[in-house]
Amino acid sequence: MLPPVVNPWGTLHAYGELLTRRPHPLAVLDVPDEGCVHELAQRVGILRRLAPVTVLAPDDTCHAALLEAGATNVLARSMPIEELAARLTADQRWIARGPHVRRSRKRDPLPAHLLPAQASQRVLLNLVLADPGPWCCHDLTRLLGSAEQPLNRAALRARMPRLEPHLGRLGLALRRAGGWGRFSYTVVPTAGPGPASPRTA
């Protein structure tokens, strides 16, 4: 069946659900019309780093480009609702078997005292722990912005260093590489031995 809650692109609590819910959920990216197809392959490539993605697309959408970008499946929005629900259920059933789940996502949830107090920072921390990177700044600004407007890169540069104290408690650090035009973030082990806390595999 279709997801009970529909969230706009950029909804942080929805990203948090994709990153932490067990069993691993399916992300359904609903593209209502051809005007929303711009940069769709890039968005699929970003979202698949959080969860497997099935795209509901207009009839004339190029399925091959979305599959190459990492979509689990691409379904036509014009499909009869009964068939669409059956196909989404089949996708979720396949995901539940688990062979495709990345090793980096197989970690225990962090205890509450290691999580940031701010919800947006908790999502960012879970994001970089689930997939240590590298994360391109353009991908992060697309992911954290709205469908119409990416997050400002200055805002991203302000947010990311706030993760460092929380990563440090896990024996990890955030490494930034590149220049002002294009830069990336990668989670790396610190030089010294970290505490006996949950760590990224």
pLDDT tens readout for residues 103-148? 444 456 677 777 787 888 888 998 999 888 799 999 999 999 998 8
CATH code where residue 163 lies: 1.10.10
* Same-domain pairing of 92 and 111: no
92 within domain boundaries: yes
* Same-domain pairing of 16 and 85: yes
Rounded to two decimals, the pTM is: 0.82
101 within domain boundaries: no
* Same-domain pairing of 85 and 116: no
pLDDT tens readout for residues 36-56? 667 899 999 999 999 999 999
- What residues make up the domain containing 156? 107-189
Domain boundary among 96, 120, 153: 96
* Same-domain pairing of 138 and 70: no
- Residue 152: phi, psi to the nearest 5? -65, 135
SS3 49: coil
CB 106 within 8 A of CB 124: no
